[in-house]
Amino acid sequence: MTPRDELKTLLAQKELLIFDLDGTLFNTLGDLAPAVNFAMTQLGLKTHPNDDVRTFIGNGSMNLIRRAIAANYIDVNIVRNFDKVAAVLEREGFSEESVKEIHKVYSEYYWKHCTENTEPYEGVVELIKRIANSAWIKRAAMLTNKPVAPAQKILEKFGLENSFATYLCGDTTPERKPSPAGIFEILRQTGIAPEKAIMIGDDTPDVLAAKNAGIDCITLFEGFGKAENLLPLEPRYTAGHIKDFAEFI
């Protein structure tokens, strides 16, 4: 992990902190897993333990569902491989349209239940509100691949809906992470220079989006991402979670 003094120096130079949502601001697994498993049962497919669903998360909910289906037929440890998942779905007769129908079942269930077991990580709510309510130059933004409807519902439950300078979601951003387009749009909306912004996220799409946008990133190793997927990306700045450096913001 990056030494605390180095993180303190880094964050002192930043004016805009762009946070991911799932696995970064909120532990949403307790609502994501039941929604995934509800969709699986409707098709007569096997359900998955929460720890397996954790590995399916990333790159949007359509990929979450693709991986959950594929995990019925291949080892859970390789469902992050897009090519292998696509090959399995084709082999087993799951067309893109059929996946979309399963995704619709998942989405409707998740929307109804998305705040029942979701909790903010330690210190997150206090930190975001502190940034929003202070006269500091720092501002907070959010960039998530989660659709806007459940994202807003979660923010509203914890009183954070008006605490970000701006936020973009999977269906409101120009392109989803790992594309840099969402970061570029946030920079445009806030008027912040790239060197004054930093991405804070827990998974591969966050790290790659930051790299593709040319901004710094703090990679969190206690979220939903797996170390074996994150380490090959050679993240420059790392931490366990937000609680480990919140005092420097």
Assign 3 a pLDDT band (cuts: 50, 70, 90): very high
- Amino acid (one-letter) located at 5: D
Q: What's the rounded Cα separation, in Å, for the pair 44 and 167?
A: 37
> Mapping DSSP to helix (H, G, I), strand (E, B) and coil, where does residue 138 land?
coil
CATH of residue 209: 3.40.50.1000
Final residue of a structural domain among 113, 142, 173:
113
Q: What is the pLDDT of residue 137?
A: 77
Q: What's the rounded Cα separation, in Å, for the pair 180 and 177?
A: 7
- Whether 8 and 99 map to the same domain: the answer is no
What's the structural domain count of the chain?
2
Judged against a pLDDT cut of 90, whether residue 210 lies above it is answered with: yes
Range of the domain at 197: 4-27+118-248
- Amino acid (one-letter) located at 246: A
- Whether 48 and 149 map to the same domain: the answer is no
CB 49 within 8 A of CB 74: no
**Phi and psi dihedrals of 27, rounded to 5?**
-90, 100
Residues 1-30 have a mean pLDDT of 97
User: How do residues 91-147 score in pLDDT, each as one tens digit?
Assistant: 999 999 999 999 999 999 999 999 999 999 999 999 999 999 986 779 999 999 999
- Whether 22 and 35 map to the same domain: the answer is no
Assign 196 a pLDDT band (cuts: 50, 70, 90): very high
What's the pTM?
0.95
